[in-house]
Amino acid sequence: MNDRNLLQVGIIGTVVVALRCFTPILVILLGVVGLSAPGGWLDYVLLPALAMFIGSTAYALWRRQRTI
């Protein structure tokens, strides 16, 4: 995977997961479908995913800076 693709995946993933973590979009959608019970467990999945995407973005930026 080249630096540009890695950076794009990192930024898009970070934005998507941050929207899911910090806004009640996912909880509302799960409530509409009747699956709001696992809403409390979402932080155990979304927060590590957010950390992973932020890390991949930082790594891509570091690689890009190093090659310039």
User: In this predicted model, what pLDDT tens digit does every residue of 17-37 receive, in sequence order?
Assistant: 887 776 677 777 778 888 777
Q: How confident is the model at residue 43 (pLDDT cuts 50, 70, 90)?
A: confident
Total structural domains within the chain:
1
Instruction: Tell me how far apart the alpha carbons of residues 34 and 65 are, in angstroms, rounded to a whole number.
Output: 47
Cα radius of gyration (the chain): 15
Task: Write down how long the chain is.
Answer: 68
Find the mean pLDDT for residues 53-57.
Answer: 91
Average pLDDT across the chain, whole number: 82
Quote the tokens at residue 59: 């790594």
Identify the domain containing residue 21 by its residue range.
3-67
